[in-house]
A and B are shown apart, each in its own frame.
Chain A
């Protein structure tokens, strides 16, 4: 408490704070991303008109992922952000994949047991 008087806020501090921080996204990048996203939305709808089994799901998810990447990298500034924030985001996806993978592996494995049980009970 007693030390307060020895550390006044100096003009030097104020000057440092007036500096800009954070990345400012150029307008043409934002507009370009918007345009690309719209084009990709049309593309993903168009892709369902064609029968490309078994690739339809992969194409739909692939396009969604490109769109998501554009949003994350440019709208959300992640490309210019602190790398740790990117790590946080990737961690979320990794843990989601782990959760999904575990549950999916198991349920696919025991599904025949459920089916045979239902058939035996005529459910």
Chain B
């Protein structure tokens, strides 16, 4: 970061004063109320925890490369997969896109100077840090082996650090609530003149829908974790059958949050894809209103289906049938999105640049992940596939293949805006290709494993090899794929960091986007918009054409003044 701060600042153009150079020193970052700096701090922290979670993933896959003990014992294995899940879910994937990328671009896309409550925004970041510190304590002080779901009665009887972990997750929940609350209030109250609801970029619709889930579902997780903590400390009994409590009720509590939470994970990703597909197809997005409303529909329908996680838990048949039927309703808005993205690309002038490669990866992998979700939502097949690697493969296709691809698409798409530098397009494409191959090699074999009956969370499969000799090969392939994926992600990190030092300076609008963030300079000035920007159709990308003199896109329907990117448009 310090290199960004000390980069030479041309004296001529006043517009070169940007959010990175606006103030200097540690405290100017640590106490900043600027949504852009908070976004950048979130981004750095979240990527760090992603690599921590990724390290756990590689350890799991290494252990499973062959039967028997490879690198760790059974208890260690339980802790590693628990922390992989907990770190990835609570520290990376839930806050990932909204808090890091969303924080940075939401106010700019909206045409506002900041989020509605900047101090709450900073508080949210520090709550995230405190929550993360709790997870580090868990790691150092004896681990956690409940799985990220904290199912009772195991979580109330194991002697690992459950109380620390639920406290951490509770605090992270508040961080998430504050982000969501802030985004809703910002989108409602800080829209400039002309920014009507149906001129909001689709990423903002997605963030709005995400924020709805964050504020509606997270409190229930909060009380659930609170009850688990009190249960362990005092013997509360609400989830303990010995005292008349009901462990299945815990699962209701938990999944009332955690099922909607999977849409916290995927919806912002879908928003990024909507931006990227339109810009890199050089075409207006197809079916804007349908994509926008489908985000809200996914958010609301997501609350009706939590019981499909509990088909084999002891849940009643009546509830299972209802939840199974309702589950299928979620596929409708999801499919609407996919069809509209495909229709946007149809006859577009598609540029296969890095963000677009990740967007295509998203559509392909989310397609597989979503469709296999239908198998699992169907009551009868789920009973067969429940707790097998089929589930593991399904949700990794959605969370990694979907959300991680979208996150990478978003990072590459907004990288010039955030840092003011262009990354290497060559290495970007290589990285995208390696991520695609590595991911599929890791998780496609797991579909086969699961449908053949390999249970998830198992430390060893040596005894199953007599009946299922194929398990060995699938696990081996999966582990190889995970190494490739790991290398690919390191590569991505390396060339992105390298671009901070030797990347070309980014122009205001390198991709030809029509949303407002491309109207301010790269990186944006401290105030975002010294002059209220003109708000138009966010997907009128054809009004922007590449100008070789500028090295980027400029609006064509006007007498261009390339050095002043905030010039109001002619229409």
Contacts and interface: CB of A to CB of B under 8 A. Distances in A.
Interface of A: 1-4, 84, 91-92, 95, 98-99, 102-103, 105-107, 109-110, 113-114
B208 interface: no
A74 B319 CA distance: 40
A113 B314 contact: yes
A105 B527 CA distance: 52
Interface in B1-34: 14-15, 17
B249 interface: yes
Given A102-B307, A105-B318, A105-B319, 4 more contacts: A1-B14, A3-B531, A98-B303, A113-B314
A98 B303 CA distance: 8
Contact of A102 (B188, B216, B306): B306
A106 B307 contact: yes
B306 to A, nearest CB: 7
B427 to A, nearest CB: 36
B218 to A, nearest CB: 12
Contact of B316 (A4, A95, A106): A106
Given A1-B530, A95-B216, A98-B304, A109 B256 contact: no
B530 A107 contact: no
A107 B314 CA distance: 10
Interface of B: 14-15, 17, 188, 216, 220, 246, 248-249, 252-253, 256, 303-304, 306-307, 314-319, 525, 527, 530-531
A107 B256 contact: no
B525 A1 contact: yes
Nearest to B323: A102
B419 to A, nearest CB: 21
Q: Identify the 8 closest CB pairs spanning chains A and B, nearest first.
A: A109-B316, A106-B319, A103-B252, A110-B316, A109-B318, A106-B316, A99-B256, A1-B530
A102 B306 CA distance: 9
B221 to A, nearest CB: 12
A109 to B, nearest CB: 3
Contacts of B525: 1
22 contacts: A1-B14, A2-B530, A3-B531, A4-B530, A91-B216, A92-B216, A98-B304, A99-B256, A102-B252, A102-B307, A103-B249, A103-B256, A106-B248, A106-B252, A106-B318, A107-B246, A107-B249, A109-B316, A109-B317, A110-B248, A110-B314, A110-B315
Contacts of A114: 246
Contacts of B316: 105-106, 109-110
Contacts of A1: 14-15, 17, 525, 527, 530
B557 to A, nearest CB: 23
Specify which of A2, A98, A99 lies most central, judged by the most chain B CB atoms within 10 Å of its CB.
A99
B262 to A, nearest CB: 17
A106 B315 contact: yes
A107 B15 CA distance: 63
Contacts of A107: 246, 248-249, 252
Contacts of A109: 316-319
A115 to B, nearest CB: 12
A84 to B, nearest CB: 7
Contacts of B14: 1-2
A110 B246 CA distance: 11
B307 to A, nearest CB: 7
A3 B568 CA distance: 14
A98 B17 CA distance: 51
Contact of B188 (A84, A91, A113): A84
A106 B314 CA distance: 10
B530 A102 contact: no
A95 B260 CA distance: 12
A92 B303 CA distance: 13
A113 B15 CA distance: 71
Contacts of B527: 1
Contacts of B315: 106, 110
A62 to B, nearest CB: 26
A107 B319 CA distance: 9
B319 A99 contact: no
A1 B566 CA distance: 12
B318 A99 contact: no
Nearest to A113: B314
A3 B531 CA distance: 7
Specify which of A3, A98, A102, A114 lies most central, judged by the most chain B CB atoms within 10 Å of its CB.
A102
A98 B306 CA distance: 11
Nearest to B306: A102
A52 B304 CA distance: 36
Nearest to A103: B252
Contacts of B253: 103
Contacts of A113: 314
A118 B370 CA distance: 40
Contacts of A92: 216
B79 to A, nearest CB: 31
A109 B316 CA distance: 6
B188 to A, nearest CB: 7
A2 to B, nearest CB: 6
Contacts of A99: 220, 256
A4 B253 CA distance: 53
Contacts of A2: 14, 530
